[in-house]
Amino acid sequence: MTKSSLDVDLLVIGWGKAGKTLAKRYAATGKSVALVERDPAMYGGTCINVACVPTKDLVVSAEARRPDDDPQTYFTESVAGRDDLIGKLNAANHAMLDGQATLFDGEARFTGPKEVTVRTADGDVVVTAQTIVVGTGAIPTRPDIPGIDLPGVYDSTTIQHADPFPHRLAVIGGGFIGLEFASMFAQFGSEVTLLDAGPALLPHAEPIVAETVTDVLTRRGITVRNNAEIRGIEQSGDGLRAQLADDGIDVDAVLLAVGRTPVTADIGLDVAGIDTDAKGFVRVDNRLRTSVEGVFAVGDINGGPQFTYISLDDNRIVWDQLVGDGTRTTTDRVAVPNTTFITPPLSQVGLTPAQAQQAGHDVLYAAKPVAKIATMPRPKIVGDAEGVITFTVDADTRKVLGATLFCIDSQELVNLVALAIRAGVTADELLNGIWTHPSSTEALNEVLAELKPYGS
């Protein structure tokens, strides 16, 4: 095989949100940039190819399914639509950098602190760079469970092309990935059993939120089994049997949703002198600098929150190191929202009332079921008045400290609340706000009017 070399100003390993954005911006300044991606199916990164975008596309399809639609046929058509969308996004992401940066399809491995060997189909290329950004992402965790290699055992990536459609599905894991897929496949027509190792779903949420989510999932046909200890998976007739400590569940397929593992094991970080923690995440400071000068770690591999919008902010922090004054850090992040895309979506930002009390606040709290919010007719209009909305407020300043929004449109509404927290807006300003009608934002006019001392 041939071997060649290349020296660039910036080398990006992994085509995720932070890496691709940095590559494009830096190339636009006239700097030389190279980007390495080991799998052409991942141009653009995890989010657009196997995670956020394709799964939410499937969620929307599942929500639109009518009771008379055949689950197998409908799922097959939905997957085809998903694939068409992702194919276009994948190609657009490649076109975004093609001609602006040197692009490699291949495996990258550090052979020194500032040297990476890229194994391509045309031979090895030794790439040296003044700055290296590592953003190789994360993959579904493979737990040490007997039988996980059996046909019909999926992870969050492979189940998006499950074939045949699983009419009976066991989901192992009650985190946000497990909840999303359990909700999705129940609406596609699966008989879903959610196996959660803990005593209750959403252990860190307010009790009323956890109880409401569990109630909604259960009424939509999902069997929730807590304290579920998985002993193994075995073949059983034409399907599978998920063996628990005390009994077993016969299903057509099993989804493993027990977390994600950073892709750092086989890229030579030890050779470069880049430190990792016990779980394989790259150790970084609050400016995303690794233990090697000039090498940054971005996205899912640096141990921070695994959201694509955090990866986008990682890009801003590294960009500030490259061309700015270097003052931007991860500690600047305040009131970062998150959404779990069950139906309706579950969104949260800031502190729960218990957390606020632990932080020394005197807390005001309000919680109201969506179906009882008279000023919020939109959920009833669209036919989904499930859920509950809560607010946590500082009793002295009346500033908003946090909120949980389990309702339609919550993935949008939570951004307004996050901005209010960052800007120091009081609950009264939101309570007395003039909002469009009918909209989900109108809930603020009613829920915040019911603030009371927490625990009263």
Cβ neighbours for 178, distance < 8 A, ≥ 6 positions apart: 171, 172, 194, 196, 255, 257, 258
What is residue 122's predicted lDDT score, i.e. its pLDDT? Answer: 94
Length of the chain in terms of residues written: 456
Q: β-strand 253-256 against 153-154: which pairing, if any?
A: parallel
The C-alpha atoms of residue 48 and residue 16 are separated, in whole angstroms, by 9
Which pTM value belongs to this model? Answer: 0.97
Buried b or exposed e, range 229-252, using 16+ CB within 10 angstroms:
ebeebeeeeeebbbbbeeebbebb
CATH superfamily of 3-139+261-332: FAD/NAD(P)-binding domain (3.50.50.60)
CA distances from 357 to 60, 276, 331, 351, 417 (A): 38, 34, 22, 9, 20
Instruction: Fill in the DSSP letter of residue 222.
Output: P
Locate the domains of the chain by residue range. Answer: 3-139+261-332, 153-258, 338-453
Alpha carbon separation from 87 to 44, 93, 158, 429 (Å, rounded): 11, 10, 16, 44
Give me 180's structure tokens: 């999303």
- Candidates 94, 161, 361, 437; catalytic one: 437
CA distance 173 to 194: 7
Average confidence (pLDDT) per 10 residues, the chain, 456 residues: 87 97 98 98 97 98 98 98 98 97 98 97 97 98 96 98 98 98 98 97 97 98 97 96 95 98 96 97 98 98 97 98 97 98 98 98 98 97 97 98 98 98 98 98 98 92
| DSSP state at residue 329 | -
Strands (DSSP E) contained in 93-212 are 102-105, 107-112, 115-120, 123-134, 138-140, 153-154, 168-172, 191-195
Same fold, 3-139+261-332 and 153-258: yes
What is each CA distance from 241 to 20, 177, 249, 287, in whole angstroms?
42, 22, 5, 47
**Domain 338-453 sits in CATH 3.40.50.10860:** no
Q: Is 437 a catalytic residue?
A: yes
Q: Given CATH 3.40.50.2300, say whether it is the number of domain 153-258.
A: no
Distance of CA 271 to the CA centre of its chain: 31
- In sequence order, the 6+-apart residues with CB closer than 8 A to the CB of 246 are none
Return the pLDDT at 361.
98
pLDDT at 2: 62
Tokens for 214, please give them.
């569990």
Q: What is the pLDDT of residue 3?
A: 77
